[in-house]
Amino acid sequence: MNNLDPEVARDPDHLVVYGGRGKAARSWAAFDTIVGALRSLADDETLLVQSGKAVGVFATHRDAPRVLIVNAMVVPKWATDEIFWELEARGLTMYGQMTAGSWIYIGTQGILQGTFETLAALARAEFGADDLAGRWFLSSGLGEMGGAQPLATTMLGGVAFIVDVDPRAIRRRLEGKYLDVQATDLDDALARVRRATEERRALSVGLLGNAADVFPEIGRRNIVPDIVSDQTAAHDLMVGYIPQGHTVEQAARARAHDPAAYRHEVQTSIAVEARAILALQEAGAKAFDYGNNFRTQAREAGVAKAFDIPGYVPRYIRPMFAVGSGPFRWVALSGDSADIARIDRLVLEEFVGDGHLARWIRLASERVKFQGLPARICYMGYGDRERFGHRVNDLVGSGELTAPIAIGRDHHDTGSVASPYRETEAMRDGSDAIADWPILNALLNVASGATWVSVHHGGGTGIGNSIHAGLVIVADGTEEADRRIGRTLHNDPGLGVARHADAGYPASLELARRAKFRIPGP
């Protein structure tokens, strides 16, 4: 229900949460059946959900997950866009994206923190700085994922210039204070960006337009941003990227009239934008791909050097993944924002030596508007997640928190995903496409006693391109929950350490030697 709250979901009437067509349930009839099953579920039963549809309640035991979810799995030979969406149209499956179909999407804050971490790592790696003061970032997309870009940039003291073709997306980001101002035209936008950059003043500017028009024009003017990227939902060509020459409404009509011709127009526009990004990169901009399958679509459209744009995970995030750190989140089931404020204080008290984490928690508490149930997210690593979970459970048990807390994470995490165009791109040992790890992750979390566990296909890179797993553990203040939390929040990031140790990352091997799990062999 929280995933489909109108404050949270992109298109709740059609069960779409985010990421193009990522849904929380297959149909409204399926939604009603799932909710009915959850309301009557006993403490020793487990509900099975097959691609957004409840298919059975089975007797298990109290420490077993209450729900097991699998979304969008297709036998590999049939794992193409055309076949999948035909099966989806027949009501046989559902695209769960990452956290939509696993019911732990928390609105734009979920990607905001990941974008913040990416840009902070970029600032350190590319500019030798702790922030983006005096730098500007050109990108496109203000949807459920891309909408985080302007606020993440200004939280780091930089200037964001984000292009979007949908006036509703711009208006929504202005109203939610994720975006500061909307420019009247390109000249106005560039003037605002220039002034703010010169003054080292944080600012985010939105422009109504198409990136395939705007990016090349910026290049023609010999203007070079410090950073350039794209965060449209390019993994879903039919709804995630609007081609040149179309408004959102015109695109919908063209899509319905001639899908094949429309798809060709989309790929043509992606190619234009990709060539513009490559030209800006050649001129000195720090370009990166945000794992939305943009490069693959561009290469298929004829841009041979599309993968000269580096992926953000191998370039900036993998050192964190290697030591079991990734996007970790919690949700106040009370609906009371005071519970999140108390946990914010807990983090600041418990992790006093982590200045970067403290900076994020303070900024988030000041600047993030909750969508749906109050929630928070941060990058937290192996060992720290377990410690945090026990402390939160103590606060629930003592009554300092007024209701249980759902603790989960993105599927985009240290050991829970195989995605050769994003999380596992350019692995040290060449294991980019090995998909055993997310399945092992899900199985381990079931054995550890997570409250619900999910395995999905596709995520943010599209059908055929990734397998990934998620989990949620509920802290209800009981001793039983505390034992489950200890196992789950130790083992889940621990597998990420093991996965990277197996690939030969020195930091992972060293951490594994000190960890409370064994890696067999010499």
The Cα–Cα gap between 173 and 255 comes to 26
Phi, psi of 55, rounded to the nearest 5 degrees: -120, 0
Residue 515 has a pLDDT of 79
The Cα–Cα gap between 485 and 357 comes to 22
Other Cβ atoms closer than 10 A to 309: 22
The Cα–Cα gap between 243 and 420 comes to 26
Give the contacts of 114 (CB within 8 A, at least 6 positions apart): 148, 327, 379, 410, 412
From the number of C-beta atoms within 10 Å of its C-beta (0-12, 13-18, 19+), residue 128 rates as: exposed
Give the contacts of 185 (CB within 8 A, at least 6 positions apart): 207
Which CATH class, in words, describes the domain spanning 1-105+324-522? alpha beta
Residue 461 has a pLDDT of 87
Q: Give span(s): CATH 3.40.50.10730, the chain.
A: 109-310
Other Cβ atoms closer than 10 A to 205: 23
Q: Which of 116, 157, 150, 148 is nearest to 356 (CA)?
A: 116
Alpha-carbon dihedral angle through residues 75, 76, 81, 82, given to the nearest 10 degrees: -70
Catalytic residue among 165, 378, 427, 446: 378
Residue 513 has a pLDDT of 87
Q: Which of 167, 171, 115 is nearest to 292 (CA)?
A: 115
List, in sequence order, the alpha helices (H) in 351-454: 355-367, 384-398, 436-448
The model's pTM: 0.88
Digits of tens for pLDDT over the chain (522 positions)? 999 999 999 899 999 998 889 999 999 999 999 999 999 999 999 999 999 999 999 999 999 999 999 999 999 999 999 999 999 999 999 999 999 999 999 988 888 999 999 999 999 999 999 999 999 999 999 987 788 999 999 999 999 999 999 999 999 999 988 999 999 999 999 999 999 999 999 999 999 999 999 999 999 999 999 999 999 988 788 888 999 999 999 999 999 999 999 999 999 999 999 999 999 999 999 999 987 889 999 999 999 999 999 999 999 999 999 999 999 999 999 999 999 999 999 999 999 989 999 999 999 999 898 999 999 999 999 999 999 999 999 999 999 999 999 999 999 999 999 999 999 999 999 999 999 999 999 999 999 999 999 999 999 888 999 999 999 999 999 999 999 999 999 999 999 999 999 999 999 999 998 876 777 765
List, in sequence order, the alpha helices (H) in 208-354: 211-220, 248-257, 259-282, 294-300, 312, 318-322, 337-350
Task: Please report how the helices 248-257 and 259-282 are oriented relative to each other, as an axis angle in degrees rounded to 10.
Answer: 130
State the DSSP code for 5: S
Q: Give span(s): CATH 3.40.1770.10, the chain.
A: 1-105+324-522
DSSP per residue over 34-58, as a string? HHHHHHH--TTEEEEEESSSEEEEE
The first and second tokens of residue 261, run together, are: 């011709």
Residue 28 has a pLDDT of 97
Phi, psi of 449, rounded to the nearest 5 degrees: 100, 25
Which CATH class, in words, describes the domain spanning 109-310? alpha beta
The Cα–Cα gap between 178 and 145 comes to 12
Please report where in the chains the tokens 């229900």 appear, as a residue.
Answer: 1
Residue 39 has a pLDDT of 97
The Cα–Cα gap between 208 and 189 comes to 10
Please report where in the chains the tokens 């370009």 appear, as a residue.
Answer: 287
Per the annotation, the verdict on 512 as an active-site residue is no
Residue 522 has a pLDDT of 59
Give the contacts of 127 (CB within 8 A, at least 6 positions apart): 135, 226
**Residue 341 CA, distance from chain mean position:** 23
Region of 107 on the Ramachandran plot (φ > 0 left; ψ -120 to 50 alpha; else beta): left
Residue 440 has a pLDDT of 98
Its sign, for the CA torsion 179, 183, 185, 189, is negative
Apex 30 CA angle, 25 and 36, nearest 5: 110
The Cα–Cα gap between 407 and 387 comes to 13
